[in-house]
Amino acid sequence: MTDRRHPAPSGWTPARCAALHKRAFTHPRPWTTAEFAALLATPGVFPVTHAKGFALGRVVADEAELLTLAVSPEARRQGVGSRLVRGFEAQALAEGAATAFLEVAADNRAARALYRHLGYRESGRRKGYYRTAAGQLVDAVLMTRPLGRTGEI
């Protein structure tokens, strides 16, 4: 992996990322401020931001991983998530990725529907990967999408 440094997301401090992540997720458990600080300082990790949400991604070799996507609950179903994913894909293409992948909790129907709508297809599962607050195990669904070769997504 090339040591690509990306600017910090404008206004999106690790604390702000963690606060929105906590509002957006009950499980898997929300990430902490310290986890966001470490992730944002990792070479190759890039942010995509919007006033009502953010995405974090990275490119390794020719694959891009969408690490997380969080949208304010009051801004859902307004196209924010789609714009963030498309921004992630555009940055991934610019960094040489040919495919994008992500994982999502099997019971997160809204997110899975969004990703399917954007062209992602289920490519595998990690059984019992997530644990709910009640202790129930939930599969992670792996989803993949080829990215355009000429800048088309």
The partner residues of 59 in beta bridges, in order of sequence, read 64
State the pLDDT confidence band at 2, using cuts at 50, 70 and 90: very low
Confirm whether 122 is domain-assigned: yes
Confirm whether 6 is domain-assigned: no
Which pLDDT tens digit goes with each residue over 119-131? 999 999 999 998 8
**Looking at the 3D structure of the chain, how many domains does it have?**
1
Residue 144 gets which letter from DSSP?
A: E
Which pLDDT tens digit goes with each residue over 70-103? 887 776 777 888 999 999 999 999 999 999 999 9
What is the rounded distance in angstroms from the CA atom of residue 86 to the CA atom of residue 72?
A: 18
Lowest mean pLDDT, pick from 14-18, 82-86, 136-140: 14-18
- Mean pLDDT within 4-25: 74
* Helix or strand run (H / E) with residue 22: helix 14-24
What is the domain-level CATH number for residue 38? 3.40.630.30
- Domain containing residue 109: 14-146
Q: Which residue has the higher pLDDT, 101 or 33?
A: 101
Confirm whether 137 is domain-assigned: yes
SS3 percent helix, strand, coil of the chain, rounded to 5, is: 30, 35, 35
In what order do the strands lie in the sheet containing 63-71?
Answer: 45-50, 53-60, 63-71, 99-105, 137-146, 121-131
